[in-house]
Amino acid sequence: SRARSPSMATSRAAFALAHAPQRAVRAVRAPSVARAHGEARMAMKMRRLHGVGSRRTFARVVAHAAPAWPWASDVYVRRAADAPVVRAKPAVGHASALSVAPMMEYTTTHFRVMCRLMSKYAWLWTEMEVDQTLTHAVEDGTRVDRFLDYPVATAATVLQLGGSSPEILGRATAISAPYGYEEINLNSGCPSPKVAGKGCFGAALMMEPALVAECLAAMAENAPDGTPVSVKCRIGVDDVDGYDDFCRYVETIVAQSPTRRFYVHARKAILAGLSPAENRTVPPLRHDWAYAIARDFPECEFHLNGGLKTLNDVSNALTRGPADGGRIHGVMIGRQAHADPWGLLSAADTEIYGAESNPCPSRRVFLQRYAEYADENIGRFGTAKDGYRVPSVRHMMHPIQNLFHGCANNKLWRRLVDEELQKRAKRPETTVASILDATLVAISDEDLDAPPGAAGVDAFDIDRDWDLPRRGAGYLAR
């Protein structure tokens, strides 16, 4: 996991934050797996014999690709000795009908590149960056780029901040301003003990709506002109879980800050007794509450998060909600984007945004483009003391580990990747392209060249009996 403690020594913090170690799992080959290895390799030999699916072809395409991945720090940040930092805001003209939710240790820069290659229009979110991490990075002289920089091709990205001090959140927002994020968001919904417990922010902030409003006002004051400041929240927390409580939370923010955009995870958070994973499944989903709060605050923009998994769910949530409910402006999906990125995102542009085509016509083309990005940026921050480049080949391979979800030999491919990384991840000549060349033996041409397609099991029930809460009626999120 990524170390975030501001009290660590500068060198140790810089190393830990830049180089999140990945656990290598030793592969144990059962006889059936060994046979599968042999069969897959034999199939690859036959394809090479007939000139089909050659790994040399893949490597050749990648090797001759021109560098195409400038970073925000190069494009948007202009530094001069006697002038302030100047920011050029990226032009994004589409609405965030679909957002990929912020997820710690998942929505890294490289994960977001993967998502953007699959969809031009879905909005992407950073991991939560703790406000004190950014302010201490500046004070200690470490490179803030390691926390805030991103390839400009992934524009339409939301920066999520965590904290509970208006002053520090304001400073963190000012530090992030030159990087050109499309939106700045305050985390008021994370139930992790490290965040809501010791950190006293995240979901714990829902008990103090006036403080949330003060934090949002400070962030808006320090954000670039035209950049919205939003909040991500639950519908309640612990015993503060009535619909009236939720309305007071929104009402206070609207009255005391410029924020009008809310991302609502339609479950309450239970801070004592449930893990973060359990908080995503145990408290009951109340999609009704999201439509009700949108009805009661029509001047605001609400996005629905929680339990939705497919592009059909996105479309249905936007267009087939309750007749007496308010408008939902967008849908946020998190874990499914990691579990099956191709199944969620590869067809999103045509299915959700009405585009004529999708960015990548196949997984093979996607891998060629992703390898171009990865191999251009491996070691961008140098080499760590343990010999791994920062970012490492392993970092770059992590986001695409579920690319072949549902395909034959998916587990075999992942095993082969792990074996290759264990053998040669530290070698300077090792690239993502070379790892793919050595492991795609396991995947058939049919799966590599299959066109984009939506996948997954729909979770949004369009035939449900809606029960929208109303103020003063005693509704509880239990």
156: left (phi over 0), alpha (psi -120 to 50) or beta: left
pLDDT higher at 41 or 128 = 128
- Examine the pLDDT at 416 and tell me if it is beyond 50: yes
Alpha-carbon distance 151 to 280, whole Å?
A: 30
User: How long a stretch of residues is the chain?
Assistant: 478
Q: What is the pLDDT of residues 14-46, one digit of tens each?
A: 323 333 333 333 333 344 445 555 555 555 544
pLDDT of residue 41: 54
pLDDT of residue 191: 82
- Examine the pLDDT at 212 and tell me if it is beyond 80: yes
- Where is average pLDDT lowest: 59-73, 287-301, 431-445? 59-73
- Examine the pLDDT at 58 and tell me if it is beyond 60: no
306: left (phi over 0), alpha (psi -120 to 50) or beta: left
Q: What is the pLDDT of residues 250-299, one digit of tens each?
A: 999 999 999 999 999 999 999 888 888 898 889 999 999 999 999 999 99
Find out whether 359 and 326 touch, Cβ atoms under 8 Å: no
Indicate if the alpha-carbon torsion angle 453, 459, 464, 466 is positive or negative: negative
- 330: tokens are 């967008």
Alpha-carbon distance 404 to 417, whole Å?
A: 13
pLDDT of residue 51: 40
- Examine the pLDDT at 240 and tell me if it is beyond 90: yes
* Average pLDDT of the chain, as a whole number: 85
Phi first, then psi, for residue 122 (nearest 5°) are -60, 140
Confidence of residue 465 (pLDDT cuts 50, 70, 90): very high
pLDDT of residue 428: 93
- 77: tokens are 């940040």
Alpha-carbon distance 47 to 440, whole Å?
A: 12
Phi first, then psi, for residue 144 (nearest 5°) are -65, -20
| Residues β-bridged to residue 43 | none
Confidence of residue 478 (pLDDT cuts 50, 70, 90): confident
Q: Using DSSP, state whether 240 is helix, strand or coil.
A: strand
Indicate if the alpha-carbon torsion angle 273, 278, 282, 284 is positive or negative: positive
DSSP 334-392: -HHHHH-HHHHHTTHHHHTS--SS-S-SSHHHHHHHHHHHHHHHTTTT-B-TTS-BSS-
| Residues β-bridged to residue 331 | 98, 304
- Where is average pLDDT lowest: 201-205, 217-221, 282-286, 419-423? 201-205
pLDDT of residue 31: 41
| Residues β-bridged to residue 98 | 331
Annotated catalytic residue, options 115, 190, 360, 407: 190
Is residue 190 annotated as part of the catalytic site, yes or no? yes
DSSP 194: I
The number of beta carbons lying within 10 Å of the beta carbon of residue 87 is 19
- 347: tokens are 């067809």
Find out whether 148 and 175 touch, Cβ atoms under 8 Å: yes
DSSP 461: -
What residues have CB less than 8 Å from 405, skipping those under 6 apart?
339, 340, 341, 342, 343, 455
The residue written with tokens 């400073």 in the block is 171
Phi first, then psi, for residue 237 (nearest 5°) are -150, 130
Find out whether 56 and 44 touch, Cβ atoms under 8 Å: no
- Examine the pLDDT at 309 and tell me if it is beyond 90: yes
- Examine the pLDDT at 315 and tell me if it is beyond 90: yes
The number of beta carbons lying within 10 Å of the beta carbon of residue 94 is 13
Q: Which amino acid is at 22?
A: Q
H/E/C letters for each residue in 35-66? HHHHHHHHHHHHHHHCCCCCHHHHHHHHHCCC
Q: What is the pLDDT of residues 140-180, one digit of tens each?
A: 877 899 999 999 999 899 999 999 999 999 999 999 999 99
